[in-house]
Amino acid sequence: MSSVNKAILIGRLGQDPELKYTPGGKAVVNFSIATSETWMKDGEKQEKTEWHNIVMWEKLAEVAAEYLKKGSLVYIEGPLQTRTWEGQDGHKNKTTEIVGKKMEMLSGKGE
């Protein structure tokens, strides 16, 4: 049996995408999106928001940087990856992010 590593999210960007280029010239963009769920508890509306870190590469990164803005509604699909690195202070850091392989813009440019 094989395994599956795929996340599918629809959410809103928490900030404008941050486009950078690697020393080799590859485009990479980072941003976060929020997903929320609501429910009723004891007659009161409850809401929980989760934040998800997204990274995209090459042409898709450039498209995301050009068309997505803070508040944009977007569909993202891709595998989860966990990275570790050592900070300038010597502490080890760890993050889990979605590597966006597929994206659909669900709101207009700059909306």
The CATH number given to whatever domain includes residue 12 is 2.40.50.140
Is 82 inside a domain boundary?
Answer: yes
**Mean pLDDT, residues 70-98:** 94
Q: Percent of the chain at pLDDT above 70?
A: 96
Is 2 inside a domain boundary?
Answer: no
Is 1 inside a domain boundary?
Answer: no
Distances (CA, A) of 69 to 66, 73, 81: 8, 9, 24
Distances (CA, A) of 40 to 5, 11, 45, 47, 79: 32, 21, 5, 9, 32
Give pTM, 2 decimals: 0.85
Q: How much is the pLDDT for 108?
A: 64
pLDDT of residue 103 exceeding 80, the answer is yes
**For residue 17, what are the domain limits?**
7-105
Is 21 inside a domain boundary?
Answer: yes
Is 110 inside a domain boundary?
Answer: no
Q: Give the chain's domain count.
A: 1
